[in-house]
């Protein structure tokens, strides 16, 4: 018996980096691969060039701690519940989604420049 798919509603949901869609009996799966960055990579490759200031992994880690994205309860950085969305904690070194770069930049005090 063949199924009439003309009246089926499209199914669409997303979880994490996987997106599953179904329409007219055809299921597609789209997986986005995110590159996660260490605090050192965020500091040297992104924040230092953007801000013109010297950034270190310690400064990035402190900023993420102040923003409540990570904590260090047992000598190793761990993401908080708030930070888990942005963190890759599957390896011994905590890595971050590039999205945290903008989150950090938003926390920096804005410098005013006056036209004279």
In a domain, 46, yes or no: yes
Q: State the pLDDT at residue 63.
A: 96
Q: What is the pLDDT of residues 35-62, one digit of tens each?
A: 899 999 999 999 999 999 999 999 999 9
In a domain, 29, yes or no: no
In a domain, 45, yes or no: yes
Q: What is the pLDDT of residues 73-98, one digit of tens each?
A: 988 999 999 999 999 988 889 999 99
* Percentage, residues of the chain above pLDDT 90: 56
Q: State the pLDDT at residue 77.
A: 94
Q: State the pLDDT at residue 115.
A: 59
Q: Which three-class secondary structure state does DSSP give residue 71?
A: strand
Q: State the pLDDT at residue 91.
A: 84
- The pTM is what? 0.67
Q: State the pLDDT at residue 109.
A: 81
**Domain interval for residue 49:** 39-107
Domains identified in the chain, total number: 1
In a domain, 74, yes or no: yes
In a domain, 7, yes or no: no
Cα(116)–Cα(105) distance, integer angstroms: 27
* Percentage, residues of the chain above pLDDT 70: 72
In a domain, 96, yes or no: yes
Cα(76)–Cα(93) distance, integer angstroms: 9
15 compared with 82, residue with greater pLDDT: 82
The 3 state secondary structure assigned to 4-41 is CCCCCCCEEEEECCEEEEEECCEEEEEECCCCCECHHH
In a domain, 15, yes or no: no
In a domain, 112, yes or no: no
């Amino acid at each position: 018996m063949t199924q009439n798919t003309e009246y089926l509603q499209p199914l669409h949901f997303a979880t994490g980096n996987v997106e599953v869609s179904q329409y007219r009996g055809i299921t597609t799966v789209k997986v986005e691969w995110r590159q996660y960055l260490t605090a050192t990579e965020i500091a040297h490759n992104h924040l230092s060039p953007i801000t013109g200031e010297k950034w270190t992994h310690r400064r990035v880690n402190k900023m993420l701690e102040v923003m409540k994205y990570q904590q260090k309860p047992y000598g190793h950085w761990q993401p908080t519940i708030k930070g888990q969305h942005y963190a890759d904690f599957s390896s011994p070194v905590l890595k971050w989604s590039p999205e945290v770069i903008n989150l950090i930049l938003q926390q920096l005090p804005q410098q005013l420049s006056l036209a004279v």
